[in-house]
């Protein structure tokens, strides 16, 4: 089977010049995009990772040098078949971070708009997010806070003369199925739970960039942050059979020969837990005896630890942690996680967090979730679901302690300094 695929680029320089890069000027086997919705090699929540574009192309204009291209933006278009779709096949907006030039050939590395979250939060330090969220005098739902942080914090990014747009998936009319996004939660077949799930920050909490705040909130709601095809920042849940009963079916014949590997075990999230900074305030985890006891199933728990958006309302107001962990538990136990990897050749672009079923050469189907994608122009899509054996999976409940300590160290230092100075 021959799959016809086409691609082109639009290059927007910081000085206002634009260039069309047709397919004929793309250097063969150089165009690719790599993306992920988990951190490292274990399954978890709260990933905020920009997709990375790599490409080589030719520009014959002698008046453009490599320094002209730094900070430029690239729009990627690609599609299957002879004719592009109505939107031209837009696949993302990328910001150039690295450039080399050899004669008239440019070698480019670029990151999508998630990289714009790595900016000084709201052009001020201290508790900037707290100040922004507190302007109305009300506590905020998590989805309100996330939208405020992204839209408000990046409003001054004059990108394409349009501010970045933030979207939530599931969409606004179905927020009740997003764990902890609001006070109300009645997703995944449980009765309505109208509990307190507000978020707020301690006055001493701060971070140098917006990414930290979005990661903490995405972790709290059990999903991940990525950029859409139009460059908009998006929060997504992982798809599950509960709300996606008809997954995309992939057959082993659609994979490049000798690339498909499927694990003989699956991962089941049987328990959720929240741990506060002060262990004296720890609460019991939610556990409804959700373990699956059968061969080929590895039971693990997820843990949210030292998340500053949880610290204030649950530590200093004394509310129970059960609403948080209960909502996460009922959602996460539906996520299908079976490690696999393979290079898929099909006429449809796959996406992060997608629930799929793969049929092996013996006719056995396996449900799993896409956590990593590397698309290569005319080279297929290298897809995988991360996960290793139980010894590694003991860390799936959280990001590494080294990452955690790095995020929290400055907050602890500032708190101590304020205590000593009376600030």
* 141-171 pLDDT, tens digit each: 888 888 877 776 554 454 444 446 778 888 7
* Mean pLDDT, rounded, of the chain: 83
* Whether the Cβ atoms of residue 251 and residue 281 lie closer than 8 Å to each other: no
Residue 18: count other Cβ atoms within 10 Å of its Cβ. 10
- Interval 59-109: pLDDT, tens: 988 899 999 999 999 999 999 999 999 989 999 999 999 999 999 999 999
Q: Rounded to an integer, what distance in angstroms lies between the CA atom of residue 313 and that of residue 320?
A: 10
Query: For position 407, what pLDDT does the model report?
Result: 52
Query: For position 257, what pLDDT does the model report?
Result: 95
Query: For position 28, what pLDDT does the model report?
Result: 95
What token pair was written down for 394?
């003991």
Residues of the chain with pLDDT under 50: 121-127, 135-137, 155-156, 158-163, 389-401, 404
Q: Rounded to an integer, what distance in angstroms lies between the CA atom of residue 119 and that of residue 347?
A: 37
Q: Rounded to an integer, what distance in angstroms lies between the CA atom of residue 209 and that of residue 199?
A: 19
- Interval 233-259: pLDDT, tens: 999 999 999 999 999 999 999 999 999
């Amino acid at each position: 089977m021959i799959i016809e695929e086409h691609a082109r680029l639009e290059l927007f320089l910081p000085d206002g010049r634009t260039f069309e890069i047709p397919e004929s000027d793309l250097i063969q086997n150089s165009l690719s995009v790599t993306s992920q919705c988990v951190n490292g090699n274990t399954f978890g929540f709260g990933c905020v990772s920009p997709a990375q574009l790599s490409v080589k192309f030719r520009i014959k204009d002698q008046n453009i040098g490599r320094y002209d291209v730094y900070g430029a933006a690239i729009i990627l278009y690609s599609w299957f078949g002879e004719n592009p779709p109505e939107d031209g096949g837009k696949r993302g907006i990328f910001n150039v971070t690295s450039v080399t030039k050899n004669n008239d050939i440019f070698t480019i590395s670029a990151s999508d708009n998630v990289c714009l979250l790595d900016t000084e939060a709201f052009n001020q330090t201290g508790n900037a997010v707290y100040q922004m969220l507190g302007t109305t005098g009300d506590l905020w739902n998590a989805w309100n806070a996330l939208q405020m942080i992204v839209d408000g914090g990046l409003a001054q990014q004059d990108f394409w003369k349009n501010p970045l747009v933030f979207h939530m998936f599931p969409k606004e009319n179905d927020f009740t199925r997003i764990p902890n996004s609001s006070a109300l939660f009645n997703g995944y077949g449980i009765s309505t739970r109208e509990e307190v799930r507000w978020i707020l920050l301690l006055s001493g909490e701060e971070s140098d960039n917006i990414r930290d705040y979005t990661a903490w909130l995405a972790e709290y709601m059990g999903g991940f942050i990525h950029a859409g095809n139009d460059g908009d920042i998006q929060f997504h849940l992982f798809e599950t059979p509960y709300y996606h009963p008809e997954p995309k079916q992939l057959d082993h014949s659609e994979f490049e020969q000798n690339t498909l590997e499927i694990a003989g075990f699956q991962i089941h999230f049987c328990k959720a837990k929240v741990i506060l900074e002060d262990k004296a305030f720890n609460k019991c985890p939610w556990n409804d005896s959700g373990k699956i006891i059968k061969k080929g199933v590895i039971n693990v728990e997820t843990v949210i630890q030292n998340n500053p958006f949880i610290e204030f309302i649950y530590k200093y107001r004394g509310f129970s942690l059960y609403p948080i962990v209960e909502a996460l538990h009922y959602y996460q136990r539906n996520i299908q996680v079976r490690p696999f990897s393979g290079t898929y050749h099909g006429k449809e672009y796959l996406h992060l967090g997608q629930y799929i079923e793969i049929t092996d050469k013996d006719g056995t189907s396996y449900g799993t979730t896409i956590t990593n994608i590397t698309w290569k122009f005319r080279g297929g899509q290298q897809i995988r679901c991360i996960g290793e054996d139980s010894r590694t999976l003991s860390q799936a409940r959280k990001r590494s302690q080294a990452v955690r300590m790095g995020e929290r160290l400055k907050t602890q230092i500032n708190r101590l300094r304020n205590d000593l100075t009376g600030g």
